Amino acid sequence: MSRFRPIALVTDPRYLDHDTANSLHPEIPARLEGILKRLESSPLAPYLKKITPRKAEMNRVLAVHDEDYLSSFEGTCISGREFFGHPDNRLGYDSYEIALLAAGGCLSGIDIIENGESELVFCCIRPPGHHAETAQALGFCFLNNVAIAARYWKDVHGKERILIIDWDAHHGNGIQEVFEHDPDVFYISIHEHPTFSFPGTGYSNETGTGAGEGATLNIPLPPGSGDEAILNALKGRVGEAVKEFRPEAIIVAAGFDAHVMDDMSGLAYTTKLYGYLGTFMAFWAERYCKGKVLSVLEGGYHLEALPASVEAYLAGLSVCID
């Protein structure tokens, strides 16, 4: 009996070509290089199978983003400008193509789950996506990878109730914007309190609108919160919400910037916590989705904490407890 379940690792050297070159920009290719290097020499290595992503088809991206927005994104890259909309959103000539490849990685991941090749998929991609809105780039994000994946899972594979759980240190305003009216996609986010933290959204009173009322759950944690705070939330309100929703598919917006060493947030999780997060995700996947879950990399900027936390997460996610 093996110790870990196999994990499909969606990644591609082309993800390094999204160029944010600037001495102070934290969303850099070294993030992925660090993760992949760590995983190569990890006890998990024999259980990991690399998958090459495809480019997202335009109709899948248009299911989330405005056409005008996409052409202006593409135009900005080709024109040689250094950022899109806000100086935070640095990009290079290839960034549009790479962003399509990042979103496409999630779609490849879903196909792998659906055709039975692997129950667990980790998309080790960049640029990240959860701040990107229908028609706005924000916080290093251009295309909302998770939102595009959720629409695809529903439209192509017929999943009716999709749970998106986001424990990046920052609120995923983009995912929320796309699905706040949708009762069938439940967005749960646990993040640093918006009074103190980027992007200034994700207050607990944001619970969805119209038909989607109740299908958004925001749990802000005060700066300085650590493992205990998020574990209490998972055992309490999150657990109850998941149980009530009974998802048919689970997507994890996996950001690692709440780590105590990561200075992009005031949260203070330990590396070990990410292992626990993995077991929680695996537990819900087992109970509601035959063990299947798609995890998508979002933030995480400390070049030592990030690889260690990803490894801990994947170990917790895949470990066999029997």
- Tell me the per-residue interface mask from 121 to 160 with other proteins, x by CB under 8 A, - otherwise: ----------x------xxx--------------------
d(CA 251, CA 247): 10
320 close to 276: Cβ distance less than 8 angstroms: no
Least Å from the CB of residue 263 to other proteins: 5
User: HSE of 43 in the Cβ direction (CA atoms, 13 Å)?
Assistant: 9
- Contact between 301 and other proteins per CB under 8 A: yes
149 close to 296: Cβ distance less than 8 angstroms: yes
Residue labelled with tokens 């400008």:
81
3-state secondary structure string, 247-305? Answer: CCEEEEEECCCCECCCCCCCCCECHHHHHHHHHHHHHHHHHHHCCCEEEEECCCCCCCH
d(CA 189, CA 195): 15
- Chain length of the chain: 322
Asked if 25 is an active-site residue, the reply is no
Number of residues near other proteins (by CB under 8 A): 36
C-beta closer to other proteins: residue 5 or 25: 25
Which member of 65, 131, 193, 302 is catalytic?
131
Least Å from the CB of residue 232 to other proteins: 4
Least Å from the CB of residue 200 to other proteins: 4
Among 13, 43, 75, 222, binds other proteins (CB under 8 A): 222
Among 1, 2, 24, 115, binds other proteins (CB under 8 A): 24
Q: Which helix (H) or strand (E) holds 70?
A: helix 67-79
- Contact between 93 and other proteins per CB under 8 A: no
- Give the interface segment with other proteins, choosing from 59-67, 117-125, 193-201, 269-277 (CB under 8 A): 193-201
Least Å from the CB of residue 301 to other proteins: 7
- Give the interface segment with other proteins, choosing from 2-10, 24-32, 146-154, 269-277 (CB under 8 A): 24-32
Q: Which helix (H) or strand (E) holds 79?
A: helix 67-79
d(CA 78, CA 2): 48
C-beta closer to other proteins: residue 60 or 302: 302
Residues at the site binding other proteins, with contacts judged by CB under 8 A:
24-26, 86-88, 131, 138-140, 170, 173, 194-201, 203, 221-225, 228-229, 232-233, 236, 263-266, 301
The residues annotated as belonging to the active site are 131
